[in-house]
Chains A and B, each alone.
Chain A
Amino acid sequence: MSQYFAGVDIGSTMTKVVIMNQSVLASVIGPTGPEHRKLANRVMEEALEKAKLPFEEITYVVATGYGRINVPFADKQITEISCHAKGVAYLLPEARTVIDIGGQDSKGIKLKDGRAVDFVMNDKCAAGTGRFLEVAAEELGVKLEDMGKLSLEARNTVRISNTCTVFATQEVVGKLSEGAALPDIVAGLHEAIATRIYGMLRRLKIEREVALTGGGAKNIGLVRALEAKLGFAVLVPPEPLLTGAIGAALLGKDIVKEAEKKGTPLPRAERRLQEATLFT
Chain B
Amino acid sequence: MTEEKKPEERKKRRTATEAASNIGPMVKTMIREVLEAKETKKPIAYSFICCCYDEIIRAMDIVPHWVENYAGICGAKRDAQRFLERAEAENFSRSLCTYALCGLGFDAWREELGEMPPESPWGGQVKPDVMLGSGQMLCDPRNKWFQAAQHYMPDVPVYDVGLPWPAYESDYDYRQVQDYYVKYIVKELKGLVKFLEKHTGKKMDWERLSELVALTDKTWDLIWETYELRRAVPSPMGTGDAMNTMVPIVFMMGTQQAYDFFQDLNKELKQKIANKEGEVPDEKYRLLWGGGLPAWFALSDFNYFNSKGAVFPVETTYRMIEATYNFDIDLSQISDPLEHIAWRWVKFWTYWHDRARKRPGSHPDVERLIKYIEDYKIDGIVMHEAFSCRSWHPGLIWQLNLLKKVYRDIPSLVLESDIVDISSYNEADTRTRIDAFIDTLEAVKR
Cβ–Cβ < 8 Å partners of A121 in chain B: 433, 436
Binds A, one of B57-65, B344-352, B424-432: B424-432
- CB nearest to A122 among chain B residues: B416
Cβ–Cβ < 8 Å partners of B424 in chain A: 124
- In the complex, what's the smallest C-beta–C-beta distance from B239 to chain A, in angstroms? 22
Cβ–Cβ < 8 Å partners of B113 in chain A: none
Cβ A117 vs Cβ B428 within 8 A: no
Q: Which of A69, A80, A119, A120 has the most CB of B within 10 A?
A: A119
- In the complex, what's the smallest C-beta–C-beta distance from B434 to chain A, in angstroms? 9
Given contacts A116-B439, A123-B426, A124-B416, contact A79 B432 (CB under 8 A): yes
Cβ–Cβ < 8 Å partners of A116 in chain B: 436, 439-440, 443
Given contacts A118-B412, A203-B401, contact A112 B432 (CB under 8 A): no
A59 at the interface (CB under 8 A from B): no
Per-position binary interface string of chain A over residues 79-101, scored 1 when its CB falls under 8 Å from any chain B CB and 0 otherwise: 11110000000000000000000
Q: How far is the CA of A280 from the CA of B429 in the complex (A)?
A: 12
- In the complex, what's the smallest C-beta–C-beta distance from A223 to chain B, in angstroms? 25
| SS of B interface (majority) | helix
Per-position binary interface string of chain A over residues 55-81, scored 1 when its CB falls under 8 Å from any chain B CB and 0 otherwise: 000000000001001000000001111
Cβ B429 vs Cβ A112 within 8 A: no
- CB nearest to B438 among chain A residues: A79
- In the complex, what's the smallest C-beta–C-beta distance from A11 to chain B, in angstroms? 12
Cβ–Cβ < 8 Å partners of B414 in chain A: 120
Q: How far is the CA of A229 from the CA of B400 in the complex (A)?
A: 24
B397 at the interface (CB under 8 A from A): yes
Q: How far is the CA of A251 from the CA of B424 in the complex (A)?
A: 33
Cβ B432 vs Cβ A118 within 8 A: no
Cβ A117 vs Cβ B426 within 8 A: no
Which residues of B from 359 to 401 have beta carbons under 8 Å from A?
397, 400-401
A115 at the interface (CB under 8 A from B): yes
Q: How far is the CA of A117 from the CA of B432 in the complex (A)?
A: 15
B444 at the interface (CB under 8 A from A): yes
Given contacts A82-B436, A123-B429, contact A117 B444 (CB under 8 A): yes
Cβ A117 vs Cβ B411 within 8 A: yes
Q: How far is the CA of A116 from the CA of B429 in the complex (A)?
A: 18
B115 at the interface (CB under 8 A from A): no
Given contacts A118-B411, A203-B401, contact A79 B436 (CB under 8 A): yes
Cβ–Cβ < 8 Å partners of B443 in chain A: 112-113, 115-117
Q: How far is the CA of A69 from the CA of B435 in the complex (A)?
A: 12
Which residues of A from 166 to 186 have beta carbons under 8 Å from B?
none
- CB nearest to A120 among chain B residues: B414
- CB nearest to B430 among chain A residues: A123
B446 at the interface (CB under 8 A from A): yes
Q: How far is the CA of A105 from the CA of B440 in the complex (A)?
A: 19
Cβ B432 vs Cβ A66 within 8 A: yes
Q: How far is the CA of A69 from the CA of B431 in the complex (A)?
A: 11
Cβ–Cβ < 8 Å partners of B444 in chain A: 112, 117
Given contacts A124-B416, A203-B397, contact A119 B440 (CB under 8 A): yes
Q: How far is the CA of A25 from the CA of B444 in the complex (A)?
A: 32
- CB nearest to B435 among chain A residues: A79
Q: How far is the CA of A87 from the CA of B369 in the complex (A)?
A: 34
Cβ A115 vs Cβ B432 within 8 A: no
Q: How far is the CA of A82 from the CA of B435 in the complex (A)?
A: 9
Per-position binary interface string of chain A over residues 103-138, scored 1 when its CB falls under 8 Å from any chain B CB and 0 otherwise: 001000000110111111101100000000000000
Q: How far is the CA of A82 from the CA of B433 in the complex (A)?
A: 11
Q: How far is the CA of A79 from the CA of B438 in the complex (A)?
A: 10
Cβ–Cβ < 8 Å partners of B429 in chain A: 66, 105, 123
Out of A80, A113, A124, A280, which one reaches B432, CB within 8 Å? A80
- In the complex, what's the smallest C-beta–C-beta distance from B19 to chain A, in angstroms? 35
Cβ–Cβ < 8 Å partners of B416 in chain A: 124
Q: How far is the CA of A256 from the CA of B429 in the complex (A)?
A: 28
Cβ–Cβ < 8 Å partners of A119 in chain B: 436-437, 440
- CB nearest to A81 among chain B residues: B436
- In the complex, what's the smallest C-beta–C-beta distance from B368 to chain A, in angstroms? 21
Q: How far is the CA of A194 from the CA of B25 in the complex (A)?
A: 51
Q: How far is the CA of A118 from the CA of B401 in the complex (A)?
A: 13
- CB nearest to A69 among chain B residues: B428
- CB nearest to B410 among chain A residues: A118
- CB nearest to B387 among chain A residues: A124
Q: How far is the CA of A80 from the CA of B170 in the complex (A)?
A: 43
Which residues of A from 37 to 71 have beta carbons under 8 Å from B?
66, 69
Given contacts A117-B444, A123-B429, contact A79 B411 (CB under 8 A): no
Cβ B439 vs Cβ A81 within 8 A: yes
Cβ–Cβ < 8 Å partners of A105 in chain B: 429
Q: How far is the CA of A280 from the CA of B432 in the complex (A)?
A: 14
- CB nearest to A111 among chain B residues: B443
Cβ–Cβ < 8 Å partners of A79 in chain B: 432, 435-436, 439
Cβ–Cβ < 8 Å partners of A82 in chain B: 436, 439
Q: How far is the CA of A117 from the CA of B379 in the complex (A)?
A: 12
Which residues of A from 218 to 261 have beta carbons under 8 Å from B?
none
Q: How far is the CA of A117 from the CA of B400 in the complex (A)?
A: 16
- In the complex, what's the smallest C-beta–C-beta distance from B291 to chain A, in angstroms? 15
- In the complex, what's the smallest C-beta–C-beta distance from A101 to chain B, in angstroms? 17
Q: How far is the CA of A280 from the CA of B427 in the complex (A)?
A: 10
Given contacts A79-B435, A115-B446, A203-B397, contact A66 B428 (CB under 8 A): yes
Cβ–Cβ < 8 Å partners of A120 in chain B: 414
Cβ–Cβ < 8 Å partners of A81 in chain B: 432, 436, 439-440
- CB nearest to B433 among chain A residues: A121
Q: How far is the CA of A178 from the CA of B346 in the complex (A)?
A: 59
Instruction: Name the 3 nearest CB pairs between A and B, nearest first.
Output: A81-B436, A115-B443, A79-B436
What are 26 A-B residue pairs whose CB atoms fall within 8 Å in the complex? A66-B428, A66-B429, A78-B435, A79-B432, A80-B436, A81-B436, A82-B436, A105-B429, A113-B443, A115-B439, A115-B440, A115-B446, A116-B436, A116-B443, A117-B444, A118-B411, A118-B440, A119-B437, A119-B440, A120-B414, A121-B436, A123-B432, A203-B397, A203-B400, A203-B401, A280-B428
Interface contacts beyond A121-B436, A203-B397: sample of 12 additional A-B pairs, CB < 8 Å, sorted by A: A66-B429, A81-B432, A82-B439, A105-B429, A112-B444, A115-B443, A116-B436, A116-B439, A116-B443, A117-B411, A119-B440, A123-B432
